[in-house]
Amino acid sequence: MAELKWWQKAVFYQIYPRSFADGNGDGIGDLRGMIQRLDYLQDLGIDAIWLSPHYPSPQFDCGYDIADYTDVAPEYGTLDDFREFLDGAHQRGIRVILDLVLNHTSHLHRWFIESSSSRDNPKRDWYIWRDGRDGGPPNNWYSTFGGSAWEYDARTDQYYYHFFFKQQPDLNWRNPEVRQAIWDAVRFWLDMGVDGFRLDAIGTIFEHPDLPDHPVQKSLVELGAAMEFASGPADREKLSKEWEAMFAYQVEQPGMHELMQELRSVIDEYDDRVLVGENEEIVYHGNGQNELHMVFNFPLMKTKQLTPDWIRANQQQRLAELAAVSPEAWPCNTLGNHDSPRVESRYGDGAHDDELARLHLAQMLTLRGTPFLYNGEEIGMTDLELQDISQFRDLMGVWVYHAVRDDLKLPAELALQRAAEASRDRARTPLQWVNAPNGGFSPAGVETWLPVNPNYAVGVNVADQEDDPHSLLNFYRQMLRLRKQTPALISGYYTSLHEEAADYLAFLRHVDADPFGGAGQTCLVALNFSEHSHTLSFNLKTRVARRRFSSSGRDGATDDMSRLDIGPFEAYVGELIS
């Protein structure tokens, strides 16, 4: 096996810049705040940062509507602040990748302002403009965020296409000038030393050139409501097929692989940079060397409960699929990000949330592949349900509120509840640093951009957990250190054991000795997702393991693999020695 690249060994940590740390006390996170917290991140033990968009933006989609690809949002700081952050991270051995939004710009990007100024503007074809049909939009396509995918522009009497909000017009990637302009921006950051990019929503980049109508008879609101009230798995399956049909001409269209190859060749002009796609399709690995380095294992997240059976089945399928693409197709696991509920809220059971949060981290750090963690999960931050529609910042929540109240004519309380469930704000609240007003994110009395979750006062904050050796934060630190010191956990092959076990997950991670001086190593991992104790008997050639980690109190330094007692919710890692 070739020596691993840095991004194969790394644990990534996603920073959501608006909510991570507020350096100037104005209620909005910023680069100064991030710079001040670099020591915290180093101490935590992560290796790389994925920074959600830090570019100038009118914030209709919380920064995923970029108004300038080569600058920094003024509320976050300056380009010099960014350089200081990047250098500070690098000095601590932490890499930084940026978020690159390819599908669309902000409607306030100067490219779009020019493009919409007249039909013969040289940048007209940088976006997707079409004539209307019978007094309406060019076809029946929806925006995934609600309403028609087409917005009428009275000045030039045409419609432009937007897969997301109308403030996010889609770029026309079939125009070579667009490619050049974005590749220039990519080089701008690579020249500065950033280590790569997370590619936003790549599946949406191309549309069917003939714009055929989708065949679904329901409206998007109707389909959404039907899914909400689906009567069972078969019904849900049928509705999700309709959903796919509704968007079939708007996603995963031909041309993507050539485009990703082009981007890869830009990246490969530089040493050792990485591309990770917001997509689960393994075809984006190309031949293993010519497209993306990683795509997320989103299928792992698509469940209400992370049971051992679910995780095992996911690993079996995913690892086999990746191996079939190429030995270079590297897995990449995550359980949460700024678009999904918080890990603790989503996969907790209400009674053992803390225990499960620990197991979920242990799972992330012991499965094969590069883990991506989301800021705040290390202290067990939970979803915040907003109480008032005026507090919502994610327009998706606002859209759901109006759709339920005004289109479906349901009561306002129900609309608010649905909106709170749909809104991504719940996982984007400010990081809770201390037990003080505003969780110490901003000074007392300052109105933060989203409300701070009041559970900072009951232990969900960094400072309290730093002082407590048994806190979730210290569990994260220990496990991150364990992983760093255990080659088998980083690069080892995965072999599932006890495949029938419903309560626990057991597997081996094994790495051979290598020509670069690395010794061989085999670890046995047992993760007990239940409140029952179990005595596990493994029929292995090596019977004794040196204990590397256990979340339960245990005696001695070694364990007998033919009789391993694991306690309720225990995470166990042992290294086979003789």
Pairing mode of beta strands 332-334, 521-528 = unpaired
In whole angstroms, what is the distance from residue 47 CA to residue 49 CA? Answer: 7
Both tokens of 242, joined, read 């309709």
CA-CA distance, 65 to 105, in Å (whole number)?
Answer: 5
x/- map, 21-60, Ca ion, by CB under 5 A: -x-x-x-x-x------------------------------
101 binds ligand GLC (CB under 6 A): yes
Cβ at position 189, least distance to ligand GLC in Å: 18
Position among 12, 164, 284, 449 found at the interface with ligand GLC (CB under 6 A): 164
DSSP SS3 for 509: strand
Considering the complex, state which of residue 201 and residue 511 has its C-beta at the smaller distance from ligand GLC: 201
Q: What is the maximal distance between C-alpha atoms in the chain?
A: 79
415 binds, among Ca ion, ligand GLC, none (CB under 5 to 8 A by kind): none
From CA 358, how far away is CA 337, in angstroms rounded? 17
Per-residue contact flags (x/-) with ligand GLC for residues 265 to 304, judged by CB under 6 A: -------------x--------------------------
Instruction: For residue 200, indicate whether it is catalytic.
Output: yes
Q: Does 61 bind ligand GLC (CB under 6 A)?
A: yes
36 versus 530: smaller Cβ distance to Ca ion:
36
10's CB contacts (< 8 A; 6+ apart) are: 46, 47, 48, 95, 370
Q: Which of 520, 506, 510, 487 is nearest to 564 (CA)?
A: 506
Question: Residues 16, 64, 129, 347: which binds ligand GLC (CB under 6 A)?
Answer: 64
Catalytic status, residue 278? yes
Rounded CA separation 54/306 (Å):
32
Interatomic CA distance for residues 110 and 183, integer angstroms: 17
Using the Cα atoms of residue 541, residue 546, residue 548 and residue 554 in order, give the sign of their dihedral: positive
Q: How far is the CB of 168 from ligand GLC (least distance, A)?
A: 6
When asked if residue 524 is in the footprint of ligand GLC (CB under 6 A), the reply is no
Query: Of the two residues 53 and 574, which places its CB atom closer to ligand GLC in the complex?
Result: 53
Residue of 61, 278, 383, 575 with catalytic role: 278
- Least distance from ligand GLC to the Cβ atom of residue 205, Å: 11
339 contributes a contact to ligand GLC by CB under 6 A: yes
Residues in the chain: 578
Q: Which residues contact 496 (CB under 8 A, 6 or more apart)?
A: 312, 315, 316, 506, 507
The CB-of-252 to ligand GLC minimum distance in angstroms stands at: 14
Site for Ca ion in 131-190 (CB under 5 A): none
Using CB under 6 A as the binding criterion, the count of chain residues that bind ligand GLC stands at 9
Task: Enumerate helices (H) and strands (E) in the chain, giving the number of each.
Answer: 18, 19
Catalytically annotated residue among 200, 378, 464, 559: 200
Q: What's the CA gap between 127 and 485, in Å, rounded?
A: 49
**Catalytic positions:** 200, 278
Chain contacts with Ca ion (rule: CB under 5 A): 22, 24, 26, 28, 30
Chain contacts with ligand GLC (rule: CB under 6 A): 61, 64, 101, 164, 200-201, 278, 338-339
